[in-house]
Structure 1
């Protein structure tokens, strides 16, 4: 009996020795990497931190335009909007401002040789371009664009990829707008994504969130995405989730226009812009959710739009909850 006890004691010592060696190795590895030892997360905790990206297995690709043809081919999928849109904009939209080059749609903003009058009776000194998808879009869908921003300053250059339908007048069933992104504001390195709606008095209401990058986004192409679900909007940049909205989300059965355009905001800084400026679009894609009951797991803070919030200088490529701060 004592012999058996000795064997058990020896085995325990051996196990303790191996455990100390393994622990020491783990400490050395973490020390050499400059990181503190972190507690090991359980399976549930690990899973809750994972769904920060887009799982394309949840989606069916239903539309894609790679802009590999010519300008004439644009009319197959897009309406080429003319004239002006927005009282506080300085441009007239012209088809001539759209071109296709090296597999990209290029929307060019520039000053006009001479002023031109739009149908609203206002004369404009600048021209730019606008397209919207020929088919109305609905929810339970993912919308994506890969594009490169123009290099303008402050509030003047205003590239956007967005969805819209109606206004707050009694003749409509309510204002609806989802801005997948807009780039404008006092800091040209900052962008926003927005949700707008009509209140009970038919006044336009909305809230936005601003995100700022360490480097300006006009340096390279980036992918902007939005998943429009039942009572949820999820926004992504380069496949990383940056925001989840759960309030004032349009019904998934509501129809909206899908638009890409480059506007010129009414700002004194337009005198500092070096024209022409170009908003370059590599592709636009639309996916439908395979399972309409799938609400998609999300990891960012939920923003219910009841007060304005901002993101304080997050690292866009590694957005985590700790980077989101209320003001």
Structure 2
């Protein structure tokens, strides 16, 4: 079984034999070898593994990500799957451990960093907190970030359904079908086509470095991804 390349690729659009997010000071280099389909599950695996990445820089970890976007060599083609308004639903099981950062998020077709809608972010050393965010620019170009820390049971212990409804006048986040937060400032809600990303980051300014107790290889497991778009 292999990844459907008509719908998915395995790096950011700036992919050149792998990729990372230097803006977050992350420690991993994303590679297609860390993405697999096995047992009916999509597996994004992080492991301690020294590789040379961007401009000869050494990375101490490798990991996996998938996105419905596009690769560097495919520019300026459109993203594989993009949509404006609708519902996203992902059933997943995230790994525990300091320095592990699981995420489900949306980025704009314009290849800019904002607006960004974070369906789910969870840190492996604080798995009883679900983090949801919306990052945007106002009409004057100023950056804004809003969000919520939602107290939950330990998210690493079981499968959960993370979902989001995005409309013209509101964004609503859900955990296992229950609403956990909403944002309804209509004038600042994204009206751009966006694409989906799922990734397992290692380290960075937010997650911090892995500790001796972090178990590797670590796997972020995805059972399914579903996207519905509003008619019209």
TM-score normalised by structure 1 residue count: 0.59
Aligned mate of 1:164, from 102, 107, 112: 107
1:217 aligns with 2:187: no
Once residues 177 and 237 of structure 1 are traced to their aligned partners in structure 2, the CA distance between those partners, rounded to angstroms, is 19
- Give the CA deviation at 1:163: 0.2
Once residues 112 and 33 of structure 2 are traced to their aligned partners in structure 1, the CA distance between those partners, rounded to angstroms, is 34
Mapping of residues 50-129 of structure 1, within 5 Å: 70-71=1-2, 73-81=3-11, 82-87=18-23, 88-112=25-49, 115-129=50-64
- Give the CA deviation at 1:269: 4.0
**Structure 1, residues 163-200: CA drift from partner, whole Å, max 9, x if none?**
01379xxxx77821000000028623212111001246
Alignment coverage as a number of residue pairs: 210
2:227 maps to what in 1?
286
Q: Please identify, of 179-188 and 83-92, the stretch whose mean Cα deviation from structure 2 is larger.
A: 179-188
The change in CA–CA distance for 1:243 and 1:175 in structure 2 (over 3 A counts) is same
2:15 maps to what in 1?
none
**SS at 1:83 equivalent:** coil
1:274 maps to what in 2?
215
Once residues 213 and 27 of structure 2 are traced to their aligned partners in structure 1, the CA distance between those partners, rounded to angstroms, is 14
- Give the CA deviation at 1:228: 0.6
The structure having more radius of gyration, on CA atoms, is 1
**Structure 1, residues 14-55: CA drift from partner, whole Å, max 9, x if none?**
xxxxxxxxxxxxxxxxxxxxxxxxxxxxxxxxxxxxxxxxxx
1:229 maps to what in 2?
167
Once residues 64 and 138 of structure 2 are traced to their aligned partners in structure 1, the CA distance between those partners, rounded to angstroms, is 31
Once residues 147 and 245 of structure 1 are traced to their aligned partners in structure 2, the CA distance between those partners, rounded to angstroms, is 24
Once residues 149 and 282 of structure 1 are traced to their aligned partners in structure 2, the CA distance between those partners, rounded to angstroms, is 11
Q: Give runs of ≥4 in structure 1 deviating > 6 Å.
A: none
Given that 2:103 and 2:122 are in contact with CA atoms closer than 8 Å, whether structure 1 keeps it comes out as: yes
Of the two structures, which has the highest relative contact order with CA contacts closer than 8 Å and spacing of 6 or more? 2
Once residues 159 and 173 of structure 1 are traced to their aligned partners in structure 2, the CA distance between those partners, rounded to angstroms, is 21
**SS at 1:78 equivalent:** coil
Gap regions ≥5 residues in structure 2: 12-17, 69-78
Aligned mate of 2:89, from 118, 121, 144: 144
**SS at 2:150 equivalent:** strand
Given that 1:166 and 1:176 are in contact with CA atoms closer than 8 Å, whether structure 2 keeps it comes out as: no
The change in CA–CA distance for 1:149 and 1:233 in structure 2 (over 3 A counts) is same
**Structure 1, residues 216-259: CA drift from partner, whole Å, max 9, x if none?**
111111111101101210111111111111123111xx112210
**SS at 2:216 equivalent:** coil
The change in CA–CA distance for 1:283 and 1:221 in structure 2 (over 3 A counts) is same
**Structure 1, residues 270-299: CA drift from partner, whole Å, max 9, x if none?**
443111110000000011235x7xxxxxxx
Aligned mate of 2:65, from 112, 130, 150: 130
**Structure with more helix by fraction:** 1
**Structure with more strand by fraction:** 2
